[in-house]
Amino acid sequence: MKTICFYFQIHQPFRLKRYRFFNIGRDHYYYDDYSNEDILQQIAGRSYIPANRMLLDLIRQYKGKFKVAFSISGVALEQLEIYSPEVIDGLRELARTGNVEFLTETYAHSLASLADPEEFKQQVAMQAERIKMLFDQTPTVLRNTELIYSDDIADMACEMGYSKMITEGAKHILGWKSPNYLYQSQNRPELKLLLKNSRFSDDITYRFSNYNWSEYPLTAEKFISWIADTPQEEQVINLFMNYETLGNLQPSYTGIFEFMKALPRFAFDQGIGFATPSEIMDVHKPVGAISVPTPISWTDEERDVGAWLGNTLQKGAFKLLYDIAERVRLCTDRRLKQDWLYLQSSDHFYYMSTKHFSGGHSNFSPYESPYDAFNNYMNVLSDFIGRIKAQYPDTVDNEELNSLLTTIRNQEIEIKRLELELKKVIGRNEEKLVVKQKDK
């Protein structure tokens, strides 16, 4: 039996305000609150809210046979809680059905996995805690920012205790192989990998309303027939996409909601079911291993990380940001910690891309040019670095910082040990007190 796995990504960055050189050292608030609220509320109204309602109706209509999965960045959750809490309410209602799985990712939707393993692990743990708190689920599947994956990231995932991960079915990695199977990491066989089917996913995300597409219009019946016509042994079809596909990237007038509503009926008629990523990875066995020596993603034709780290502007800003990571981890200032997370969002580097700027990349950028994006971000980063160095100056070298961090971590371990011992002592004393009272 063939199975469709629907996975939706929700992310919105905290966009930066126009921050000029003379603001450095004077203004420590970096965000464009008006744009952030306006954009999120527009997208929520057009996409998130009606899509939540539609998915809930489908789950109820088909009595639990229709299933989907979500990955929502921590910074998106923060904005939803502030500007559109009804979206969170809708997602909670979906979670209560038992037919919706929530994955974990980096809290800041960051590129930390490419620069700072410690930061990557901390953000994934932080995000898992947030998902547990909001949706009462403990994530078992890891989804890295922009589906970025490599052999090194596989090592980090396993070290964090994850045995399931989703990523892109990149052609230059798979070669003749099909993405419609479950795979495993070559260097960490215990890590199962579910791969995006780019053709079918992009048919919905990008080509659905394209009048020039030879297959336009795309109907649910036609789409399911394509899936049914795949080789019989290919049992898993992974449709991974941005949640904004429903209502924003593909506006409601294109018929995208009607398409989605009709999809399950035609699927079930063809004997095709639906499952979440963890269900598929629990049931199916890997058919082979894949090796990914250099990072892949789900962006651009090359499926690499060039959209964020493809030019000298991006690389320079990226290096400068993570050069101060150890100092940030030492500080206890909540405002600094918050800014650190918000400044790591991959979007800031995406806006600096000179790759196809006249095309798709510029459509999502609030800046006039990549250079404008770079200058604005660097001004903000300069102020942020100044605030960090005010607490931990350059006179303290990295070796001293590492030593201090080790001391702090050892102290934390010792404190936890002593707290546990204290609880045991209190417990024993309480037991003795109960015995004495009984003797009396």
Residue partners of 416: CB distance under 8 A and separation at least 6? none
Q: DSSP letter string over 200-234?
A: HHHHHHTSTT-TTSTTPSPPHHHHHHHHHTS-TT-
SS3 394: coil
Range 78-110 burial, b when 16+ CB lie within 10 A, else e: bbbeebbeebbebbeebbeeebbbbbbbbbbbb
Contact present, 160 and 124 (Cβ < 8 Å): yes
111's CB contacts (< 8 A; 6+ apart) are 145, 148, 305, 308, 309, 318, 344, 346, 349
Q: Which residue has the tokens 């400068």?
A: 320
Catalytic residue among 119, 146, 168, 244: 146
Find, among 166, 202, 138, the residue nearest to 281 by Cα: 166
3-state DSSP call for residue 12?
Answer: coil
Spacing of C-alpha 194 from chain mean position: 15
Among residues 42, 95, 37, which one has the least CA distance to residue 70? 95
Task: Note if 146 is an active site residue.
Answer: yes
> What are phi and psi for residue 185, nearest 5 degrees?
-70, 140
Catalytic residue numbers read 146
